[in-house]
Amino acid sequence: MELDKRTYLTSFTMLGLAMCLYSGLQVLGAYVYALVTNWIYGPEAGGLRWLSGLFSSSWTGMPIRYVFVLGIPSILVYLFVCWMPVKKEPEAKLPPENFLAALVMAMGFGYIFNFAGAFINFGVSLATGKSVLEMNPVTEMLDMMQPGMMLYVCMIGPVMEEVMFRGVFLRRARRFGDQTAVIYSAVLFGLMHGNLTQFFYATVIGMILGYVAVSTNRLRCSILLHILVNSYSAYLTAWSLFYEQSGGLFFTGLFSLGALAAVAFFIAGAVWFFCTRGIHWWRNLKAAEGGKSPFRRYVWANPGFFLFAVISGLEMALYLL
């Protein structure tokens, strides 16, 4: 059934406003977390002061923080859009070779677009004098590679993000077409990161994860892919920090050469898999969507997405300038 202009405009306005709400609740969650932390460490906490140990623990401190910053906001955003129709399809299996192709493409294109974002940051740095390291919040996260942060990066974060973007948002956009839903949820995922470097590679990786989600009609495979991508990055970071602190030049150099070889392998593999499988996948999505709706422009041309794009753009500008 062809969906009308009002349905397009209303649905995507609500999804865009949901992302605006998500951004605002993250800021509010960080503020509430700071208040709770101060209270826990103060005399007013009374018998609950023992919780301060959980807040300060290298294992539980960071996950607790993200409960306030991401967990509670995610639940509230779901309640905001839970009334919207969801397109339901029977679950399907993902062939192992397709899973491998998706993983290699996510890694390889992630590197390519990470380099593209870093190149733009470098150009801005030359023009403004601001350090490139200050333009990417990942740098700050890498300085906090405690067990709790590793747990968040490798497990908690991927699960929460897949449930939110490939679950809540993609599923509510699927009735407008799988290709539309994959692109839309990926762009939201990229903008959510709030900085230019992550926007590029998160959007591309989000498209690959979105394809996996719509081809299987479940989240297990996309969650596992997300976990593997993040875990590999965390693994490299942990070992690079270890070799830097150990001061062994030989092993540091050997590790660096191995990491560069892995980058080359993933980029070459991503290009090969895209040419042999990715193009076919994309054509299948386009064919399944049928004819182009005259109202498809309202996926982007609506107040909700415009407001969220402005909010994300301001966040990016704050990192760059």
Q: Read off the pTM.
A: 0.92
Residue 174: CB atoms within 10 A of its CB come to 23
**What are the Cα distances from residue 129, in Å, to 124, 134, 137, 167, 320?**
8, 11, 18, 41, 10
Phi/psi of residue 103, nearest 5 degrees: -65, -50
**Contact call for residues 105 and 274 (beta carbons, < 8 A):** yes
**Contact call for residues 70 and 26 (beta carbons, < 8 A):** yes
Closest CA to 235 of 145, 136, 109, 114: 145
Q: What is the pLDDT of residues 262-318, one digit of tens each?
A: 999 999 999 999 999 999 999 988 887 767 788 899 999 999 999 999 999 999 988
Q: What is the pLDDT of residues 263-273, one digit of tens each?
A: 999 999 999 99
**What are the Cα distances from residue 107, in Å, to 168, 201, 264, 273, 318?**
24, 10, 11, 12, 28
**Contact call for residues 301 and 294 (beta carbons, < 8 A):** no
* DSSP, res 93: P
Identity of the residue numbered 228: L
Each residue's pLDDT, cut to its tens digit, for the chain (321 residues) gives 578 899 999 999 999 999 999 999 999 999 999 999 999 988 887 778 888 889 989 899 989 999 999 999 999 999 999 999 998 889 999 999 999 999 999 999 999 999 998 888 888 888 887 777 677 776 666 666 788 888 998 999 999 999 999 999 999 999 999 999 999 999 999 999 988 888 999 999 999 999 999 999 999 999 999 999 999 988 887 777 666 666 667 666 777 788 899 999 999 999 999 999 999 999 988 887 767 788 899 999 999 999 999 999 999 988 887
Residue 77: CB atoms within 10 A of its CB come to 22
CB pairs under 8 A, 24+ apart, for 241-250?
A: 241/142, 241/145
